[in-house]
Amino acid sequence: MTTQIVTANRLDDGAVVYLSADGRWTETVGCARVGNGSDEAEDLLAIAGHAVADGLIVEAYLIPVTVENGVVCPVHIKEVIRANGPTTRLDLGKQASTQTAAA
């Protein structure tokens, strides 16, 4: 059984987003709604399809994740980078706000 979430880009600003458990689109991968198996994956894509049709997001697709101690983590490095921001400049992207908050 594959554990997956659905990701996309928000149409109005291009931000990476994830379908959350409450049906909204969140920028935080840890808040993503997790689907197990093909039936739940199809449900996630169906919800995303409505958001595409409504012009909220583009390029929705499933990505495999692991869930350890309740923490959702993308499996592939491309999706880790999409979730956290660029790897070359830590002062840009999502990790920049994390560093600011920790300081």
pLDDT of residue 71: 92
Chain centroid to CA 92: how far?
18
Contact (CB, 8 A) for 89 and 23:
no
Pairing of strands 35-36, 71-74: unpaired
Residue that the structure tokens 């990790």 belong to: 95
pTM of the model: 0.84
**What percent of the chain is predicted at pLDDT more than 70?**
92
Give the model confidence (pLDDT) of 53-75 as tens digits.
999 999 999 999 999 998 999 99
- pLDDT: which is higher, 30 or 87: 30
Residue 91 pairs with which residues in a beta bridge?
Answer: none
DSSP annotation string for 49-98:
HHHHHTTSEEEEEEEEEEEETTEEEESSHHHHHHHH--SS-TTSSHHHHH
Per 3-state DSSP, what percentage of the chain is helix, strand, and coil (rounded to 5)? 35, 35, 30
With 90 as the cut, is the pLDDT of residue 85 above it? no
Residues 41-60 have a mean pLDDT of 96
